[in-house]
Amino acid sequence: MENINKIRSVKDLNYKLRVAYEEAKKDPDFKAMTDKINLSDDELMKSTTSIEDSVLEVKNCKNCKGLPMCKNSMNGYCYMPILKNGKLEFSYVSCRYKNKLIEDTKYQQNVTSIDIPKEIKEAKIKDIYTDDKGREKVIKWILNYVKAYKEGNIKKGLFLHGNFGCGKTYLIAALFNELAKYKVKSVIVYWPEYLRSLKSTFQSSSNDEFKNKYNELKYAKLLLIDDLGAEGVTAWGRDEILGTILQYRMQEGLPTFITSNLNIKELEEHLSITTSNKSERVKAVRIIERIKQLTQDTQMLGENKRK
């Protein structure tokens, strides 16, 4: 009796699948899609719902004007049937707009960003806000730097300091992204978080992760140390990490950029840890001298874009 009930249940399910499939085939788009799949109706009817979903997404794609208008379940992708080894599978396939975006932003793979917001990662020269006169000098410097670098005239970077939110990091990230189009590799790192994460790897059982994170900055073709002066200063972070990275880059002539809310004198005070200890002051001065050798000291005051 139990076997008879199972047989009836299977027959009922197949009947329902058949009815749903035949109903779906009344849609010419559904029929057009199934006609292209080299499978019998008995096999296709098992995937009626998935095929319907695919048909809907294909329709959406036909009328789509761009990624912001995408109506599909996954932006920039279409749910498509794929026949593999006689089995029907479904996969998300990128659309023409998504493919163009991927191609247009491929250069960003040349920029390694560590604890940096998406807006900074995607910074572009063409999107730089030029109405603020306080930024004009730096923008001109950046445009000239791109031109000079492409011509093989590699100059020292910037120590760019100024008020909070005036766009210091964005401008240098835009410079790096522009050079990335010419396969110039660079690293942008948010310094306070980098030190915290580096310290955690240093204390782990394996030293490989620490070495990789440290060397990534030390040997970077272009380096931006973002928000120097916002970190909690320790002798280890200042002397063993920052000092040795800057020393190597100074010796090898590797372009280095630094952003800070502190000017060079304020940064020296910050790095001194304690102003009453003469040896600490000397160590801070050494760091500052390396920064001066590596960068051009430039102030930028502008509107706070983060309001």
**Tens digits of residue pLDDT in 76-122:** 999 999 999 999 999 999 999 999 999 988 999 999 999 999 999 99
- pLDDT band with cut points at 50, 70 and 90 for residue 247: very high
Residues in contact with 159: Cβ distance below 8 Å, sequence separation at least 6, in sequence order? 257, 258, 260, 264, 291, 292, 294, 295, 296, 297, 298
* Mean pLDDT along residues 228-256: 96
For the beta sheet containing 256-260, the strands, ordered from the edge strand earlier in sequence to the opposite edge, are 111-114, 186-190, 222-226, 256-260, 157-162, 295-300
pLDDT for 244 equals 97
> What percent of the chain lies above the pLDDT cut of 70?
92
Q: What pLDDT shows up at residue 48?
A: 94
CA distances from 1 to 12, 13, 15 (A): 17, 19, 21
Alpha-carbon distance of 39 to 236, in angstroms, equals: 66
pLDDT band at 241 (very low <50, low <70, confident <90, very high): very high
Q: Is the pLDDT of residue 288 over 60?
A: yes
Q: What pLDDT sits at residue 179?
A: 97
Q: Looking at per-residue confidence, does 298 or 15 come out higher?
A: 298
The pLDDT confidence band at residue 230, using thresholds 50, 70 and 90, is: very high
Residue 164 is predicted with a pLDDT of: 81
Query: With 90 as the cut, is the pLDDT of residue 296 above it?
Result: yes
What's the whole-model pTM score? 0.78
